[in-house]
Amino acid sequence: MMQEYLVPEEAAGTRIDKFLADACPDLSRSFLQKLLKESSVTADGKAVKSSFKVNGGETIAFEVPKPQEAAIEAENIPLDILYEDSDIILVNKPKGMVVHPAAGHYTGTLVNALIYHCKDQLSGINGVMRPGIVHRIDMNTTGVLVVCKNDFAHNSLAEQLKVHSITRVYYAIVFGNLREDEGTVHAPIGRHPTDRKKMSIHSKQGRDAITHYRVLERFGAYTFIECRLETGRTHQIRVHMASIGHPLLGDEVYGPARQPFSLEGQTLHAGVLGFIHPRTGEYVEFSAPLPAYFEELLEKLRKRLEDKQLELEVTDAAKECIVAQGYDVNYGARPLKRLIQSK
């Protein structure tokens, strides 16, 4: 399959291998280098090497051979089904489950479970590796996900995603105490300039991304928030919240390497998903409750906050007692009158 990319003027002076790495996040650097070494990459029809620097305005083209896709096996994995009809199925994805097969994850995925449950009733637009999948959430993100049973439903949902008309509400716990009760992060997201496994707001090839957040509960060092997405970029909430200094608790990719709690990845839950039903034309909305680990963590944070407030109340009461007894709280047990006499 031929792939073509028009080089933006602002990318002028960038090495071709760097440009392609940013423009083609789904292709490995080694594969792109192989294409360049074999003179399989052209700029306005002329073969170029990896040292070539783009000028801006030219068209970069190369052929990508169609991958040989392995057959995906059906697996009898229990599904938490929120809703199902002849067109769509809504599931509550658990933490640790990959949505579709990919390198290193060919079994135990949501798709393996869906093939068993739905048999051959899944849309085929995204190929044999991603049947039914019109959108996805990260492996360690939990919550509601819609899957399409036919191409009619798939096309309808894909169009709604394209125009950003779908309601998507997530819940997260972030580090720090957000200054405002609500706000918006509007920053483009693309592949990280140096770490291809990460996304960043500093990518030259970034795509428009908007996240609205609202504080639900404050715990001093942590904040429980609701996030509403206008767009659906890879790792969007994780990248956006980290960009304003409030990475998600448990996120070792965009947050601190050492986490204060024993968590399996980020505390992020897709709580609400709403869209126009492809068959009826009516707006429908589905929700998934917070998973047990998330609820337990919230209770733990509430208890910590209560204990801290109680400690402050006890300290204040103790100070009042000390002063009433004629002692200076700043000097421990030395009587006030002794301090006065010594002056």
pLDDT tens digit sequence for 261-286: 999 999 999 999 999 999 999 999 99
User: Of 2-6, 124-128, 211-215, which gets the smallest average pLDDT?
Assistant: 124-128
Retrieve residue 292's tokens: 């047990």
Q: Considering only CA atoms, give the Rg of the chain.
A: 27
Q: What is the 3-state secondary structure (H, E, C) of 32-89?
A: HHHHHHCCCCEECCEECCCCCECCCCCEEEEECCCCCCCCCCCCCCCCCEEEECCCEE
Retrieve residue 238's tokens: 């994780």
Distance CA 273, CA 168 (A): 5
Please state, for a pLDDT cut of 70, what percent of the chain lies above it: 88
Distance of CA 210 to the CA centre of its chain: 13
Average pLDDT, the chain: 88
Active site residue 44: no
Considering the candidates 138, 195, 251, 307, report the single residue annotated as catalytic.
138
Give the Cβ contact number of residue 334 at 10 Å: 12
φ, ψ dihedrals at 49, nearest 5° = -100, 175
Q: Name the pLDDT band for 340 (thresholds 50, 70, 90).
A: very low
